[in-house]
Amino acid sequence: MLTVNSQSDAEIYGALFALAKSISGHNDLEGLCRGLAQSLQRVVGFEYLGLMLHDPAGNVMRLHALTATEPVTVEDSPTLPIDQDPAGWV
């Protein structure tokens, strides 16, 4: 559950600071997403965080990283045609 409203500004800025530190400490997308999830979970409640990137070669959106509070198994690398993905809409 999202809990941003119930957090103080200090906690939110603290989470953003942790996020900035986490981003600078990773050099791979999986690590970046893990760091993002850990930072945000201090102020935002969620179970899954996924990163889908545009693959220009096939003009599709491909799931690159999936972070969860519980172990997850990604069976393959799911893709979506760009016109079926929000990034292709906006």
Is there a contact between 48 and 66 (Cβ–Cβ < 8 Å)? yes
In the complex with another protein, the residue whose CB is nearer, 47 or 58, is: 47
Residue 64 near another protein by CB under 8 A: yes
Residue 58 beta carbon to another protein: minimum distance, rounded to whole angstroms: 14
Residues with Cβ within 8 Å of 61's Cβ and at least 6 positions away in sequence, in order, are: 52, 53, 54, 55, 79, 80, 81, 82, 85, 87, 88
Q: Is 14 an interacting residue with respect to another protein (CB under 8 A)? A: no
Does 1 engage in binding with another protein (CB under 8 A)?
yes
d(CA 80, CA 70): 25
Distance CA 52, CA 78 (A): 9
Q: Which of 11, 18, 38, 63 binds another protein (CB under 8 A)?
A: 63
Minimum separation from the CB atom of position 12 to another protein (A) = 7
User: Among 45, 57, 58, 59, which residue interacts with another protein (rule: CB under 8 A)?
Assistant: 45
